[in-house]
Amino acid sequence: DGGITQSPKYLFRKEGQNVTLSCEQNLNHDAMYWYRQDPGQGLRLIYYSQIVNDFQKGDIAEGYSVSREKKESFPLTVTSAQKNPTAFYLCASSIAASMDEQFFGPGTRLTVL
Amino acid sequence: DAKTTQPTSMDCAEGRAANLPCNHSTISGNEYVYWYRQIHSQGPQYIIHGLKNNETNEMASLIITEDRKSSTLILPHATLRDTAVYYCIVRVVSRGSQGNLIFGKGTKLSVKP
């Protein structure tokens, strides 16, 4: 089955540790996105990638980093510089940036203790 | 900031039509209206989108006013599984633009037996 997967579903880390969230898609989509969602709020864009080996900052990129070495993978690292990392993180992909609807993964809920 | 205004919450009886309104009075000529929904603790799911004509698919119908300043998403026969937060989003659809979705707080639809 084609789709977009994120792992793990729940993640706990100690304050000051970097953590990497996984996002994989087998839809052959060029564009991939990372969003953050806080309780009762809408989604905010962290980073996006329109094509492999290229990515751009979104609205709240500070304290995060990404890579796009393979078309199907877009991992997000939450660094210790992110002041408020506890949140629900959502990855999405689309055939091409801005041209099509986005398909979302199930999300990773990160809790920093 | 989101370019749309939606009611915070709505109730609907199971089996009845759910009509979710959205105001987008500053919409530009090249912006489409998209609807997504998010069931609790899951990733958002695409529902439908349109530019100026009314649209229908297997999930819902989208009615856009002639001046395009507002729209209504219609779920013709709501079920308990339609309980979710519904997001109305306007976005430019053109190759080369950023492509991210700007989510507001949406409308929490509660379908009751």
- Read off the pLDDT of each residue in B79-103 and give the average, rounded to a whole number: 81
Selecting from B43, B99, B106 the residue whose C-beta is nearest the C-beta of A31 gives B99
Tokens of A50: 């329109």
Chain segment A13-59, per-residue pLDDT in tens? 998 899 999 999 999 999 999 999 998 888 899 999 999 999 999 98
Which residues of chain A neighbour B96 with C-beta distances below 8 Å? 97-98
CB-based contact (8 Å) between A39 and chain B?
no
Give the model confidence (pLDDT) of B52-75 as tens digits. Answer: 989 999 999 999 999 999 999 999
User: Which chain A residues are closer than 8 Å to B105 by Cβ?
Assistant: 40-42
Q: A100 vs chain B: nearest CA distance in angstroms?
A: 8
Asked if the Cβ–Cβ distance from A106 to B44 is below 8 Å, we say no
Which of A98, A100, A109 is best to mutate for the B interface (most B CBs within 10 A)?
A: A98
pLDDT of residue A98: 62
Q: Is B16 left (phi over 0), alpha (psi -120 to 50) or beta?
A: beta
pLDDT at B38 > cutoff 80: yes
Report the alpha-carbon distance of residue B35 to residue A27 in Å, rounded.
21
Judge whether residue B1 has pLDDT over 80: no
Instruction: Grade residue B95 by pLDDT with cuts at 50, 70 and 90.
Output: low
Structure tokens at A11: 């993640």
Contacts of A48 in chain B (CB under 8 A): 98-100
How far, in Å, CA of B110 to CA of B2, rounded? 23
More confident residue, B96 or B49: B49
Contact (Cβ atoms closer than 8 angstroms) between residue B63 and residue B89: no
Quick one: pLDDT at residue B36?
A: 95
Instruction: Give the bridge partners for A22, in sequence order.
Output: A7
| pLDDT tops 80 at residue A6 | yes
The answer to whether the Cβ–Cβ distance between B44 and A40 falls below 8 Å is no
Strands (E) across B5-106 are located at 9-13, 18-23, 31-38, 45-50, 55-56, 61-64, 70-75, 84-92
The span from the CA of A48 to the CA of B36, in Å, is 19
With cut-offs at 50, 70 and 90, classify the pLDDT of residue B31.
confident
Residues of A with Cβ-Cβ distance to B46 under 8 angstroms: 101-103
Which pLDDT belongs to residue B29?
86
